Amino acid sequence: MNPVLDKNDSGKWIEGSGIVRRLVADDNDGSRHQRFILDTRNGQTLLIAHNIDLAKRVPVGVGDRLSYRGMYEWNELGGLLHWTHHDPLGVEDGGFVKFRRRTYR
């Protein structure tokens, strides 16, 4: 399910699915993050920031469909999704990216 998200949803855990619209260069400042932009079913876009120091890189390309769970942070462009990995402290369930029957966490 992909509800329309707004600034009131910042800091919430969300799940959904989408299609990769664009691949973005990795963010290598601090913890390394693989980044890509998803189009969700409700027409919103999400920047996925997947920590590749804690989880394996997801081998996605433009047009691929995937599902996700992570923590949402609102911005004017649609929002950012992070914590798409396990919790290294074991406090939270953590998140994931599912692609082609494989779970990356």
31-86 pLDDT, tens digit per residue, is 999 999 999 988 889 999 999 999 999 999 999 999 999 999 998 888 999 999 99
- Rounded CA separation 53/32 (Å): 6
Task: Examine residue 56 and state whether it is found in any structural domain, yes or no.
Answer: yes
- Rounded CA separation 12/19 (Å): 21
Instruction: List the Cα angle 42/44/50 in 5-degree steps.
Output: 115
Please tell me the total count of domains within the chain: 1
3 state SS of 30: coil
Task: Examine residue 79 and state whether it is found in any structural domain, yes or no.
Answer: yes
Confidence (pLDDT) at 48: 97
Task: Examine residue 60 and state whether it is found in any structural domain, yes or no.
Answer: yes
The model's confidence at residue 1, banded by pLDDT at 50, 70 and 90, is: low
Q: By residue range, what is the domain housing residue 21?
A: 7-104
Least confident stretch, 19-28, 29-38, 89-98: 89-98
